[in-house]
């Protein structure tokens, strides 16, 4: 599907949603168009030129040497356009659906990691992203909701992403989050959203439980390419705790191999995440721990093309990443909030055949001032820093990165 056709379809659905919502409500149905636009002027001290097809750039770019300034979409939250609806089926049961697209508000294109994230003579990098040009890359699912809980089928969030978006103040940020870049399989962000998934969640008073399974759809091999995830949490008053465990069989991790190709490695990944919130007066305290382990892929699902070549499944076997983080949000007034967060990522040394990596560390710090103009519009100024050492700094021209941004976010 071409980009022009995708935009026409989105616009058509938007008109239908806004035009039919009143009629739907009268029949015990609801249909709503919603979204968010987040744009900020951003400067990075070491970056390739901003790619006009992407809207955002990775801060820790190995080959970057010069400062660049531009307009970035999705500093705090990904800009999006979505449609959601419900139908009352009676007896307390409701049919629900969500369709949500990622948009680059700086240029109006669909958000896609398939676009190059930077360019330089002899170097091409392709984003390892869960958004690869899909019309509804963020979410696309339908389900039932009632006293029994919520059951959804389709393209849905993994539990780790559900948690991070709420329990990390920068968890939904493309520019400021130290945890979000490493979670979901050591940076394999295709595991943020799970295709072909069945997801169930249930609240029992202050407790919440959940399970999710993603079908691989591979002939004669039920487990190949599959996903399994579980969630358990407790939220009451000022205190909240959430945990998640997930395993992805044959998760695909990408790495550049030449100016025009990328290597794809089928890798098994396993993630554990623990997170806590505590509200104390005008102060919100947050923190957590995540551990990501990579193993040899169980199957060779990679299919070579002109742009992608297949690497050995054992490339990342034995790699372990641990992340601790802590954050403080102070609600100074009803409109002004100040946020600070620190992330400490530890990469353990490993040796698998000829593949190895020395132990290393990545430190991240983010700070932000946010001012609400209304319930749906706010202004922000923020900065993020990253420092690399040991094995984490291998191959980098620079090992210290800094981003500064100022922008506006509007929810509708």
Neighbouring C-beta atoms of residue 41, cutoff 10 Å: 13
- Is the pTM for the entire model greater than 0.75? yes
Containing structural domain, residue 119? 3-411
Dihedral angle, C-alpha 219, 223, 226, 227, nearest 10 °: 160
Q: Is the pLDDT of residue 277 over 90?
A: yes
Over residues 369-384, the pLDDT tens digits come to 999 999 999 999 999 9
CA distance 393 to 39: 30
Which residues, other chains included, contact 282 with Cβ-Cβ below 8 Å and sequence gap of 6+?
A: 330, 331, 332
Q: Backbone phi, then psi, for 395, in 5-degree steps?
A: 85, -5
Total domain count, the chain:
1
Higher pLDDT, residue 378 or 187 = 378
DSSP 217-252: -BTTBSSTT-EEEEEEEEEETTEEEEEEEEEEEEEE
Average confidence (pLDDT) over 30-48: 90
Specify the CATH number for the domain of residue 94: 2.40.160.10
pLDDT in tens, 279-299: 999 999 999 999 988 888 888
Count of beta carbons in the 10 Å neighbourhood of residue 305: 11
pLDDT tens-digit readout, 311-337:
888 887 888 889 999 999 999 999 999
């Amino acid at each position: 599907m071409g980009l022009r056709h995708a935009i026409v379809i989105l616009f058509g659905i938007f008109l239908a949603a806004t035009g039919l919502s009143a009629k739907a409500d009268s029949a015990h149905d609801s249909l709503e168009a919603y979204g968010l636009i987040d744009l900020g002027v951003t400067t990075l001290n070491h970056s390739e030129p901003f790619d006009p097809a992407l809207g955002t750039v990775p801060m820790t770019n190995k080959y970057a040497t010069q400062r660049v300034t531009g307009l970035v979409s999705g500093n705090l939250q990904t800009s999006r356009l979505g449609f959601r609806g419900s139908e009352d089926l009676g007896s307390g049961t409701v049919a629900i659906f969500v369709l949500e697209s990622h948009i680059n508000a700086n240029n109006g294109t669909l958000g896609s990691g398939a676009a190059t994230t930077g360019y330089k003579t002899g170097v091409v990098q392709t984003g390892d992203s869960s958004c690869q040009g899909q019309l509804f890359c963020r979410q696309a699912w339908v389900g039932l909701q009632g006293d029994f809980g919520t059951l959804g089928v389709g393209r849905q969030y993994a539990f780790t992403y559900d948690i991070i978006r709420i329990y990390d103040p920068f968890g939904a940020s493309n520019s400021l989050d130290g945890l979000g870049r490493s979670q979901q399989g050591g940076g394999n962000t295709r595991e943020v959203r799970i295709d072909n998934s069945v997801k169930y969640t249930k609240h029992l008073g202050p407790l919440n439980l959940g399970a999710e399974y993603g079908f691989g759809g591979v002939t004669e091999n039920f487990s190949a390419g599959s996903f399994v995830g579980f969630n358990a949490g407790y939220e009451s008053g000022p205190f909240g705790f959430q945990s998640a465990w997930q395993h992805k069989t044959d998760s695909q991790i990408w790495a550049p191999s030449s100016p025009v190709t990328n290597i794809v490695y089928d890798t098994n990944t396993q993630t554990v995440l623990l997170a806590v919130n505590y509200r104390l007066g005008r102060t919100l305290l947050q923190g957590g721990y995540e551990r990501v382990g990579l193993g040899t892929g169980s199957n060779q699902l990679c299919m070579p093309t002109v742009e992608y070549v297949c690497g050995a499944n054992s490339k990342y076997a034995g790699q372990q990443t641990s992340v601790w983080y802590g954050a403080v949000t102070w609600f100074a007034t009803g409109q002004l909030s100040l946020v600070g967060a620190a992330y400490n990522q530890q990469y353990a040394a490993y040796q698998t055949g000829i593949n190895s990596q020395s132990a290393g560390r990545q430190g991240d710090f983010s700070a932000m001032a946010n001012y609400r103009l209304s319930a749906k519009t706010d202004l922000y100024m923020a900065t993020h820093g990253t420092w690399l050492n040991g094995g984490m700094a291998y191959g980098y021209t620079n090992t210290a990165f800094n981003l500064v941004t100022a922008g506006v976010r509007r929810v509708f």
